[in-house]
Amino acid sequence: NAGVMQNPRHLVRRRGQEARLRCSPMKGHSHVYWYRQLPEEGLKFMVYLQKENIIDESGMPKERFSAEFPKEGPSILRIQQVVRGDSAAYFCAGGAGYDGANVLTFGAGSRLTVL
């Protein structure tokens, strides 16, 4: 079991470009959560997805950010027209279901730097 795979691990973009971050959860995990960690801050929830469904996107900015978790393939967090303030570490976590006692397993993160 390779764990939660995130790629790219590091991504550099210029202002105005698009960033795509991918997350493949562990086998058997059908729920994916995305979090953002800004320097000197904690982890902020962005979005919670199940296969082909967005369950909770209350933490995601309304503009420029989108997420999907298709039936086949990894979950994608997409940031359009990036700005310097988007520079952060983005973590994905996988879970097995709706049971609140389930442990979320985190990936190693994708570090986005916007020049």
Partner 1 sequence: AQSVAQPEDQVNVAEGNPLTVKCTYSVSGNPYLFWYVQYPNRGLQFLLKYITGDNLVKGSYGFEAEFNKSQTSFHLKKPSALVSDSALYFCAVRDGATNKLIFGTGTLLAVQP
Give me the residues that bind partner 1 (CB under 8 A), please: 4, 6, 31, 33, 35, 41-45, 48, 55-56, 58, 91, 93, 95, 98, 100-101, 103-109
Task: Tell me the pairing of strands 10-13 and 110-114.
Answer: parallel
Closest distance to partner 1 from the beta carbon of 6 (Å): 8
CA distance 70 to 50: 9
Closest to partner 1 by CB, 53 vs 80, is 53
Residue with tokens 């994905």: 92
Please tell me the chain's helix, strand, coil percentages from 3-state DSSP, rounded to the nearest 5.
5, 50, 50
Closest distance to partner 1 from the beta carbon of 14 (Å): 23
Closest distance to partner 1 from the beta carbon of 70 (Å): 21
Task: Tell me the pairing of strands 43-50 and 31-37.
Answer: antiparallel
Closest to partner 1 by CB, 2 vs 103, is 103
Closest to partner 1 by CB, 6 vs 75, is 6
Closest distance to partner 1 from the beta carbon of 30 (Å): 12
Structure token pair of residue 101? 């006692």
